[in-house]
Structure 1
Amino acid sequence: MFPSWATAVAAGLVSLHFLQKLFFPYFWADLKYLLKVARYGLRVEVYRLRGSVSTALQRFGALARRQPDKPFLIYEEQVHTYREVDRRSNRVARLFLEEGALARGDTVALLMSNEPDFIHAWFGLAKLGCVVAFLNCNVRARSLLHCIASCAPKMLVVGADMLGTLEEILPSLQENIRIWVMAKESTLPHVDTILDKLEVASDDPVPANLCVANNLKDPHLYIFTSGTTGLPKAAIISHLQVLKGAAGLWAFGATPDDIIYITLPLYHSAAALLGIGGCIELGATCVLKKKFSASQFWTDCKKYNITVIQYIGELCRYLCKQPVKEGERNHKVRLAVGNGVRTDIWKEFLHRFGDIKICEFYGATEGNICFMNHMGKIGSVGRTNFFYKLFFPFDLIKYDLQKGEPIRNKHGWCERVKKGEPGLLISKVHSKNPFFGYAGNKRDTEKKLLSGVFKKEDFYFNTGDLIFQDQDNFLYFWDRTGDTFRWKGENVATTEISDVIGMLDFIQEANVYGVSVQGYEGKAGMASVILKPNKSLDLEQLYQHVVMYLPSYACPLFLRLQEVMEVTGTFKQQKFQLVQEGFNPSEISDPLYFLDNCKKSYVLLTKELHDRILSGQVKL
């Protein structure tokens, strides 16, 4: 017979367990996740206190020695082991070291699409202590020149499939930028080739002191982001941010035995930091694709025994739109890591493709805040609690959509929203949680900071995103603010598009914004334009112009011709009402047009065409 005290203790434990399940149902899951994150942070801090700054590149070198024959990268059926990638990146480093054109701390811009030599060039240049700037392959002409100028590179390395883009900008490039192409020969003037020289370059390691970081806060990469306004900006990615990004797959439960499928572009942080960096953190294998293919996706997953996939919301929607195939659930994928998937697509994806844990996260390339939905809660971008806010303080504040600014009370302070109400996400900036800003752009760096939020001299990073928090502390993305919208998985800066359209001699003013389209992730681009006096709208010329100067995802799909451009009291273009009105010709009296790639022109948007777009008969 049990003593009375044992019975009382047992009853108490049962009661505590019941109360915990009732009032704190996520306690143990939160604790497990936080302990995991804390352990990783402690490891980084111990290295720092020892005076040993350990970077992701150094970890890769250690893995190349520890598991040299393990596949690191599989591309088009060709296997690249850890040792092979290490040695080829050594060749890249040796080539440029012997050329004597680079010094530690110099910037080198990389204009390459997904291929193994993107990684070899990245690692090789990093071994020389260079900062590598990832240029968006879709950006062209004026915008590309702006990106190159903003990061002030000593050198530009271009992929063989990007020579057409290079040829467009070559006459306008600064003379002091040396240009190299990933080819054996080139007919372009003043352009050097790489592949022929790599064949004879040594694969011996370069002196280790070249790539040793003095501080984890030193810059390692520049990754371009649209930000909230204007042309693309070079977000400074420190060694610390690379380490944080690389820990993402591990934090979600990936292991060294996993095989990760990367179809997203390497010039974005998701593929580069979370994908490639995540493989390095785990010591795992990744399968790299040149481009995403919805029809080939699950075939590849079965062929390569993929266990972890990366996604953006648009990717999941494309997969769900594919015709149903027999055996499409016959795969080994267990984790899907990414962001931006809609709740309805999330449910459809799970129902159709099997028991896959979708690990949604939230984070901006240049931001100092990240949320991870480690619970798999459908629709949520992450979860918070008291301990998380202790280490990563953030707030959701009231925001005026029409004025485009935070709401301040009579004392000048911002106010927090209640649970369930959307608010502007801001994250406190301090020494342990810094914001590194943009290369060569002090003005835009300062614009991303809010000061005097809750007290004098406090500073918060303004994400530009509206988030709401439910009663269980799960977080949900609601909308973007400012002059940016997201389409095809890319952030699109409206002012850049307005500037491009404004180059036409018959356009007096252009107001660009994003509109929701039924069945699609993000918002499609729409431009409201006013013509110059005595000028007519040339729809074919407008089409040719935007296709030439803008990446495909940034070309406005819809056009609205207005006589007067509405502005706010401070003479800013009024977008709020235009966004609400959308592109329905039955409700808008102004002429509306649609970008038709088949006819290579903008065409009149009729009710019939509008209905076909909404029904999915016309693909966007």
Structure 2
Amino acid sequence: MITVFFTALPGLLLLPLLISFIFPYIFQDIAHFITVLRYGLKCRKQVAKTPAHTVVDMFLEQVEKSPDKPFIIYQEEVYTYSEIDRLSNQAARALRKHVGVKSGDCVAIYMSNAPAYIWIWLGVAKLGCALSCLNSNIRSQSFLHCFRCSGAKIILAEPELKDAIDEIMPELRKENARVFYISETPVGEGTETFLDKVKAASCDAVPKSLRSFVGGKTLAMYIYTSGTTGLPKAAIITHHRIIMASGLFELCHVRPRDIVYVTLPLYHSSAMLIGVHGSILKGATIVLRKKFSASQFWDDCRKYNVTVVQYIGEVLRYLCNVPKTDDDGSHNVRMAIGNGLRTDVWSEFLRRFGDVQMYEFYGATEGNVLFLNYTNTVGSVGRVNSLYKKILPYEFVKYDIDKDEPVKDAKDRCIKAKTGQPGLLISKITTLSPFGGYAGDKSHTEKKILKDVFKKGDMYFNTGDILMVDQQKFVYFHDRVGDTFRWKGENVATTEVADILGLVTFIEEVNVYGVPVPNHEGRIGMASFKLREYEIFDGRKLYAHVRDFLPNYARPRFIRIQKELEITGTFKQRKVELVKQGFDPANISDPLYFLDEREKKYVPMTQTIYEDIKNKRIKL
């Protein structure tokens, strides 16, 4: 028996090597699946009962464990876990006593990155309330729409955004909404303040009874996404979803001793759901910056001893465009977590800044599918993991770009895309992978659900994204479909922009789309117009209109005037050819205009302007 064992031993020892030779990623696939499964089971246990184990409980555990550990570093200010706990207690008590917020209410926050954003959120959560994370760039009708979607009656706003508030104050008053500025002293006649009320409040713990009704499916916050049509939509983020999103730091093996650099806006899911909540989960330290700065990025990383950075693709591209220095490789960053990273930028980033573990992921704020590049494969967003797919089913289906819909077979069922063929990513809606939808108009939620996809009765979430799987089962992002394009890290809904432009008196029809810009990331806004009869194009009037009604990233930088806008047989506007033609005046005979910030108007597009944009002499 012993002889047989020792005879077989070399074969047993060589078996893992043989398996890894035939299936080179099998052990990484298994390890990732086990991590996902373990964390998923833990989450289900935490939210299965009422009250659920929420982000507040995660935070209070870290307070008890490491009260004096730095939680947020902001400029020269350092806030420990216990200090943020006390501030959030004061915020909760101030909201309840002086602002009149009751458990279950929704509170809107309208501010840029600052520690107050985080302790206000925790204070809101301690009351069992929800937070509406308003994009600090939105204005006018977009602002009102987002605020109304939330059902909130209270807005906490930073003083710097007073002009935007004043613009819509008459409408807010009609709805009995109140605005409290995050300031100790009034910022204008008749304004109400919040910080003075916070400072006067007790820092004693907030009674757990105020949030005793909170379960896994209870609304925690609204995060706004442009989606594919209409004005921004309020994605419903439950407490279960927060716990799941924070788990990305678990999958990426972030450690309690890590220092996480957060420069992305807190009203976005990447910074809030993943960065802030992930840091709370791990008990890590956050270095928070008001706004991303390419020139200060590595100086901050060295100054604060940052080990983990968050990014979107544009962030790393900006870093690669900064002039090289001898200090480029001098830092302690070991890991970067984010999405939207172009392959060439990825490679250049690693060459220039050293051996950083890149955790590129794919996911949507409201989506129910996640891919993670756990193999550090350049360009990939993850792998088709057969074990993972058994629990959270998804598919890639053929998509007709021109018709803007999935390709169907004779039985009116979707057709799966083949390996190496781009396909629309859809994810099955199940109890394990739910789709929470959006607040307000139910049609927005329905439009994201595909029914009877492969068989009668099944339902899938339509991501609106085209991805591709190669022969080794690596997944690569290919493109967005429908009416959305991405510019400067923001999703821009063309229909929202078109609706705003359609208010201009000299425009009869408008078609909005995103066009690629040489040497730039993403697509920038362009609009094709048909003018009303006897009307002329007024570049100064149009500039004033888009400035007042659209955030900077959504304003069309290029205008094309056409005699007729081409439509399909089903009366849909054709965009594919317009996108291909772009904005090069050498290739387009139609009148073209460019948004000139210095002139404060749309000026005639020239070949010189085109070359200056191409060569980055004009910044977009």
What TM-score, normalized by structure 2, do the two folds share? 0.97
- Whether contact under 8 Å (1:178, 1:191) holds in the other structure is no
Q: Which moved more, 1:247-256 or 1:602-611?
A: 602-611
Equivalenced residue count is 619
What does 1:169-188 correspond to in 2, within 5 Å?
169-173=168-172, 174-186=174-186, 188=188
Equivalence for 1:230: 230
| Amino acid across the alignment from 1:601 | K
- Report the CA distance between 1:164 and its aligned residue: 1.7
Equivalence for 1:38: 37
Is 1:347 the counterpart of 2:347 in the alignment? yes
- Report the CA distance between 1:294 and its aligned residue: 0.6
- Report the CA distance between 1:437 and its aligned residue: 0.4
Equivalence for 1:493: 493
CA–CA separation in structure 2 for the residues paired with 1:476 and 1:212: 43
Q: Alpha carbons of 1:434 and 1:190: their partners in 2 closer, same or farther (altered >3 Å)?
A: farther
Equivalence for 1:247: 247
Deviations 1:526-567 (A, max 9, x none): 100111111111112212221221111111111111010111
CA–CA separation in structure 1 for the residues paired with 2:302 and 2:463: 38
CA–CA separation in structure 1 for the residues paired with 2:216 and 2:45: 13
Equivalence for 1:462: 462
CA–CA separation in structure 1 for the residues paired with 2:41 and 2:497: 45
Equivalence for 1:359: 359
Equivalence for 1:151: 150
CA–CA separation in structure 1 for the residues paired with 2:22 and 2:187: 70
CA–CA separation in structure 2 for the residues paired with 1:48 and 1:193: 36
- Report the CA distance between 1:4 and its aligned residue: 5.4
- Report the CA distance between 1:616 and its aligned residue: 2.3
- Gapped regions of structure 2 (runs ≥ 5): none
| Amino acid across the alignment from 1:47 | Q
Q: Percent identity?
A: 48
Equivalence for 1:105: 104
What does 1:476-487 correspond to in 2, within 5 Å?
476-487=476-487
Equivalence for 1:445: 445
- Report the CA distance between 1:49 and its aligned residue: 5.5
Q: Which moved more, 1:515-524 or 1:16-25?
A: 16-25
| Amino acid across the alignment from 1:10 | P
- Note the aligned Cα RMSD (angstroms): 1.6
- Whether contact under 8 Å (1:260, 1:309) holds in the other structure is yes
Is 1:377 the counterpart of 2:351 in the alignment? no
- Report the CA distance between 1:222 and its aligned residue: 0.3
- Report the CA distance between 1:167 and its aligned residue: 1.2
Q: Which moved more, 1:88-97 or 1:45-54?
A: 45-54
- Report the CA distance between 1:215 and its aligned residue: 2.1
- Report the CA distance between 1:22 and its aligned residue: 2.7
Equivalence for 1:124: 123
Equivalence for 1:202: 202
**Local SS of the residue matching 1:199:** helix
- Report the CA distance between 1:44 and its aligned residue: 2.1
CA–CA separation in structure 2 for the residues paired with 1:50 and 1:150: 28
CA–CA separation in structure 2 for the residues paired with 1:74 and 1:12: 51
CA–CA separation in structure 2 for the residues paired with 1:191 and 1:418: 60
Q: Alpha carbons of 1:251 and 1:213: their partners in 2 closer, same or farther (altered >3 Å)?
A: farther
**Local SS of the residue matching 1:84:** helix
- Report the CA distance between 1:495 and its aligned residue: 0.9
| Amino acid across the alignment from 2:447 | K
Equivalence for 1:556: 556
What TM-score, normalized by structure 1, do the two folds share? 0.97
- Report the CA distance between 1:116 and its aligned residue: 0.9
Deviations 1:205-261 (A, max 9, x none): 221121235421211010000011110010000111111111112211210000000
Equivalence for 2:368: 368
Q: Which moved more, 1:325-334 or 1:418-427?
A: 325-334
- Whether contact under 8 Å (1:179, 1:190) holds in the other structure is no
CA–CA separation in structure 2 for the residues paired with 1:202 and 1:219: 27
Equivalence for 1:22: 21
**Local SS of the residue matching 1:39:** helix
Equivalence for 2:613: 613
Is 1:313 the counterpart of 2:322 in the alignment? no
- Whether contact under 8 Å (1:339, 1:361) holds in the other structure is yes
Q: Which moved more, 1:229-238 or 1:591-600?
A: 591-600
CA–CA separation in structure 2 for the residues paired with 1:52 and 1:241: 15
Q: Alpha carbons of 1:39 and 1:565: their partners in 2 closer, same or farther (altered >3 Å)?
A: same
- Report the CA distance between 1:48 and its aligned residue: 4.6
Q: Alpha carbons of 1:98 and 1:374: their partners in 2 closer, same or farther (altered >3 Å)?
A: same
Is 1:539 the counterpart of 2:562 in the alignment? no
| Amino acid across the alignment from 1:604 | P
- Report the CA distance between 1:465 and its aligned residue: 0.3
Deviations 1:336-378 (A, max 9, x none): 1000010000011111111111110011101111111111110
- Whether contact under 8 Å (1:55, 1:213) holds in the other structure is no
Deviations 1:20-49 (A, max 9, x none): 123210011111111112111222233356
Runs of 4+ aligned residues of structure 1 deviating over 6 Å after TM superposition are none
- Whether contact under 8 Å (1:382, 1:474) holds in the other structure is yes
CA–CA separation in structure 2 for the residues paired with 1:151 and 1:97: 19
- Report the CA distance between 1:200 and its aligned residue: 1.2
Equivalence for 2:588: 588
Equivalence for 1:166: 165
- Report the CA distance between 1:433 and its aligned residue: 1.1
CA–CA separation in structure 2 for the residues paired with 1:179 and 1:166: 8
Q: Which moved more, 1:256-265 or 1:466-475?
A: 466-475
**Local SS of the residue matching 2:572:** coil
- Report the CA distance between 1:17 and its aligned residue: 3.2
Deviations 1:510-531 (A, max 9, x none): 1100011122211111100111
Q: Alpha carbons of 1:49 and 1:243: their partners in 2 closer, same or farther (altered >3 Å)?
A: closer
- Report the CA distance between 1:441 and its aligned residue: 2.3
Is 1:414 the counterpart of 2:414 in the alignment? yes
Is 1:67 the counterpart of 2:66 in the alignment? yes
CA–CA separation in structure 1 for the residues paired with 2:367 and 2:43: 20
CA–CA separation in structure 2 for the residues paired with 1:137 and 1:566: 36
Equivalence for 1:142: 141
Deviations 1:280-305 (A, max 9, x none): 01001000000001100000000000
- Report the CA distance between 1:53 and its aligned residue: 1.9
